Structure 1
Amino acid sequence: MSEIAGTAYPSTSPSPPNGDASLDNERLSLFQIRLAACAGGSGFIDGYVLSIFGVALIQIGPEFALSSAAKGAIAATILIGVFFGGIVGGYLSDKFGRQRIYKWDLFAIAVLSIASFWIDGPLALLIMRLLIGFAVGVDYPIGSALLTEFSPKRFRGPLLGVLISLFFLGGAVAYGVGQVLLSTVGDDAWRWMLVSAAVPALLIGVLRVGTPESPYWLTRNGRIEEANTVMERVFGPGVTVDEVPAEGERTVGLRGIIRSGYLGRLAFVIASWTSAIIPVYAIFSFGPQLIGALHLEGNAATYGSAVIELFFAVGCLLALGIVNKVGRRTLTIRSFALKSVPLLLLAVFSDAPAIWIAVFFIAFALFSGGLEVMNFVYPNELFPTDLRSSAMGLVTAFTRFGAAAGTFLVPVVLEQYGISATMYAACAITLVGLLVSIVWAPETQGMKLSESSSLHH
């Protein structure tokens, strides 16, 4: 039995007898499962706030007389907030530690969500979405780095995949909540939709209290005794991490990535993730409108969006079972190739019967699972402890910048060129990601963090 912050976590493996066990050889513990659920809070809330806004736009658009371009701009604003938040959060996490901000940023999201009830115009709405996006962006690189640095190598891929699964689960829950509020509250339902994001933020924020600092970060910063104390409390006596203290001055952020020779890896992860995320974010932000354009209207469009998000989550869960079997590179390439097929079919057969439209969307969601899991695995495995959060923050930032551009363009392209052109564009973006992955995707399966993050593996 191990204990930390007053909470006991039964270990699934016996404590090592002589103090020479490595974290990479540990079995899965209740602590790591709880950490995955809490770290995934940022993904759940990200998916929730994006999707709930897609439903809220049904009322917000007419109330504020928003044009298609204005809808796209406001929907994209939260992604711009994530852009800046990711950069700031990643830098602060590598510089000052994972724990400090991780414990408090979800409470900021809760306060901002509650304040959204009193929005009185498009400008206030835009500012509030920007601030919420910033808070979500700050959290992304911190939670994933913590989970990576507490995970044995054979469980790292599946545990990181849980984070993106919760993103899609958050989207599905938001569509359900949004539809219930639309049906029961009336003209002000959109206000309660925006406020509702405070509920998961508060719940997950409370569960995060007591989370210890990363032993990898502590060791890298020369705080060996503190790292050993954390490891003993979480895993039992004698368990160590595969890390050494830094020599000389540590450089974090983009400058550190460039100086250390990791710019190429950063470019690959950003290009791959951006190609994957633009079609997904378009569906999240405008799910009901996109499905409505494919001949499903009203409640059917909103519930249809919720079902699709659930299939995204199912696709991620299926990928968790194979990420350690088929290899990181193979999973990435296959996922890009497979998900392009239903997008092409949606473009070619946009006037097909509703049942076939549903099949195409579900196939897209399921085939996306492997890629979405890898979007969290790669940036956390390919960079060393000094740069891990900074890299994840920059990846989060730049991929959301691309997603923001795509989200802004979706309603405009949909209105001016129709659903076929929109789906053709999504397919083309996916094929770009496939090409990038074929050329540059590395293999990190079964490696220690020190090995996968080395430029010489």
Structure 2
Amino acid sequence: MAEPPGTTPVIRSQQDVNDLINSGRAKGGKSGAITFIALGGIFIDAYDFSSIAFGLKDITESFQLTAFEEGAVAASIMIGALLGALVGGYLVDRLGRYKLFMADMLFFVVAAIACAVAPNFETLTGARLLMGIGIGIDFPVALAFIAEFNAFRGKGSKVSLWQPMWYLATGSAFLVLLPLYFLIPEDAHDQLWRWAVGFGAVPALAVMLVRHKYMDESPSWAASQGDLHRAAGILRRSYGIDVRVEQPQQQAKQDRRGLGDVLAEFGRLFSPRYRARTILAATVSFCQSIQYYAVGFALPVIISGFLHQDRLTSILGPLVFNLVFGVLGGLLGVRLANRLGSWKLSASGFAICLVALVCLGLLGTPEGTWPLALSGLLLGVFVFFHSYGPGAQGMTMATLSYPTSLRGVGGGFGQAVLRVGSMLSLLWFPTLSASLGTGVYFAVAAAPVLGLIVLALIRWEPVGVDVDAEDAGEPAPAPNHLIGKEK
């Protein structure tokens, strides 16, 4: 309930805390820094995913790997992320955002160093698996922090910020490689990947220290546990706002649920209220992951294989595609998120990516300057509109479609489905590209087609919907408020 202007806000329930934040009355303080620090975690996630992409062929040759073992190196981080997302998403809701947010950084620091000095295939694969577990935990908790520390009207754009941050980090991996290419003797270029992967420990350690100094628990989560006094303390420290707690005597802190209830929590995602949202968010996450890891992640392979360019170009090309097309496309999506919503951004992005993939398949292997330039332009268009639309919106939907009590599980499930898509893409893209050549673009085009079909069938729009009210037992919001019209 809103208080008269100039009076001290009163909180009597979790919904009062949510209303205080969503209304924008709680603003300033450390909330902006908390959003930025959460995005710092996304930066580490993306850097660690992409830093090894450049060196996969060198790793295969150095360790004399079979095709299966090469796929295992690439996919191990995805398997870890899948496990981390499923278990971590549940623990985020059970233990709180802050504890998991601090613990997962240790995975990054230890795993990055272990990858850099790995003497064999087994050590490298194990370290990548550990790194993936950290990423799987970190991703849903980072987006939950952003959603729960920002006002109602800004949630869509703030959560979508993870996508340009992803491309900034991916480009940074190649930015680290560029000076090393000139500083390290040519006969040691097959070890460049060790430097790029090991460098990931540096920003991870920095983010961990900054998190320890500035981060706090989510006030919405604390209130959801029945601890309104703790929520009031967080509001004071994070926003500089004093509130008065009027907690009914019978409202005790909720009992912790046992790990045996995890299946019941995931089952809630498919209850009548949330089923359509879960299917839509999972499908967008799955399809965007398929197309990204087949094309965006594989840019070094595409540039050296399909476009027949040298090692330096396979560094410079992804650097430009990620830092220019990826970051700018993501920023445009952020700009339009609150105006168009996740559904329209996903649909339009998938449609343009589909056209780009079909054109790349029809163009085939480019011969000559102009066909090569056209192939580069089409790849840039793909990266731009993937980042602008579906690249961000699967996880944005998974974060904003559920109330605080279910946000960690929902985000974790969305992240898990995303990782299934990435594993499939990493495993079958090399095989299909070897047998189909550039015709593999037609196979990848099935992903945006599936995404568009499901979007046409389920027209749920989470941006601008107060889903946190559902924790208070209020009716489910109408799903189509931004579809078919602009705010």
Q: What TM-score comes out, normalization by structure 1 length?
A: 0.89
2:337 counterpart SS class: coil
Check 1:293–1:85 CA distance in 2 against 1; reply closer, same or farther (3 A cut): same
Shift of 1:247: 10
Which of the numbers 439, 442, 457 marks the counterpart of 2:460?
A: 442
Check 1:445–1:268 CA distance in 2 against 1; reply closer, same or farther (3 A cut): closer
- Contact 2:109–2:201 under 8 Å retained in 1: yes
Which whole-Å deviations, capped at 9, do the CAs of 1:68-103 have from their partners, x for residues lacking one?
443222111111110001112111110111111212
Check 1:121–1:219 CA distance in 2 against 1; reply closer, same or farther (3 A cut): same
The residue aligned with 2:305 is 293
The residue aligned with 2:395 is 376
Check 1:138–1:224 CA distance in 2 against 1; reply closer, same or farther (3 A cut): same
1:104 counterpart SS class: helix
Indicate whether 1:303 and 2:316 are aligned. yes
Please list every run of 5 or more consecutive structure 2 residues that lacks an aligned counterpart in the other structure: 10-18, 478-487
2:87 counterpart SS class: helix
Indicate whether 1:274 and 2:273 are aligned. no
> What one-letter code is carried by the residue in structure 1 that aligns with 2:211?
R
Shift of 1:48: 1.2
- Contact 1:19–1:238 under 8 Å retained in 2: yes
Indicate whether 1:93 and 2:96 are aligned. no
Which whole-Å deviations, capped at 9, do the CAs of 1:124-179 have from their partners, x for residues lacking one?
21111111111111111111111111110111111111122211111111022124
Shift of 1:182: 3.7
Q: Map residues 248-267 of structure 1 onto 2, 5 A cutoff.
A: 253-259=262-268, 261=271, 262-267=274-279
Shift of 1:29: 3.1
Structure 2 distance, partners of 1:239, 1:348, is: 62
Identity %: 27
- Contact 1:79–1:400 under 8 Å retained in 2: yes
Indicate whether 1:198 and 2:217 are aligned. no
Higher alpha-carbon deviation: 255-264 or 79-88:
255-264
2:298 counterpart SS class: helix
> What one-letter code is carried by the residue in structure 1 that aligns with 2:448?
T
Shift of 1:118: 2.5
Please list every run of 5 or more consecutive structure 1 residues that lacks an aligned counterpart in the other structure: 1-14
- Contact 2:84–2:136 under 8 Å retained in 1: yes
Shift of 1:375: 2.1
Q: Map residues 2-17 of structure 1 onto 2, 5 A cutoff.
A: 17=6
- Contact 1:270–1:399 under 8 Å retained in 2: yes
Which of the numbers 204, 211, 218 marks the counterpart of 1:214?
A: 218
The residue aligned with 2:20 is 22
Which whole-Å deviations, capped at 9, do the CAs of 1:354-375 have from their partners, x for residues lacking one?
2111110111111111222322
1:328 counterpart SS class: helix
1:227 counterpart SS class: helix
The residue aligned with 2:407 is 388
Shift of 1:208: 0.8
Which whole-Å deviations, capped at 9, do the CAs of 1:185-234 have from their partners, x for residues lacking one?
32433322221111111111111113111111111110001101111222
* Count of residues in Structure 1 that have an aligned counterpart in Structure 2: 441
The residue aligned with 2:76 is 77
Give 1 or 2 for the bigger CA radius of gyration.
2
Shift of 1:305: 1.3
- Cα RMSD (Å): 2.6
Structure 1 distance, partners of 2:252, 2:421, is: 34
Which whole-Å deviations, capped at 9, do the CAs of 1:29-74 have from their partners, x for residues lacking one?
3623322222123321222122211112242121112344432221
The residue aligned with 2:139 is 140
Check 1:105–1:257 CA distance in 2 against 1; reply closer, same or farther (3 A cut): closer
Which whole-Å deviations, capped at 9, do the CAs of 1:14-41 have from their partners, x for residues lacking one?
x962134821222763623322222123
Which whole-Å deviations, capped at 9, do the CAs of 1:343-401 have from their partners, x for residues lacking one?
11111112342211111011111111122232232111111211110111121112201
Structure 2 distance, partners of 1:312, 1:452, is: 35
Structure 1 distance, partners of 2:154, 2:106, is: 29
2:138 counterpart SS class: helix
The residue aligned with 1:10 is none
- Contact 2:31–2:238 under 8 Å retained in 1: no
Q: What TM-score comes out, normalization by structure 2 length?
A: 0.84
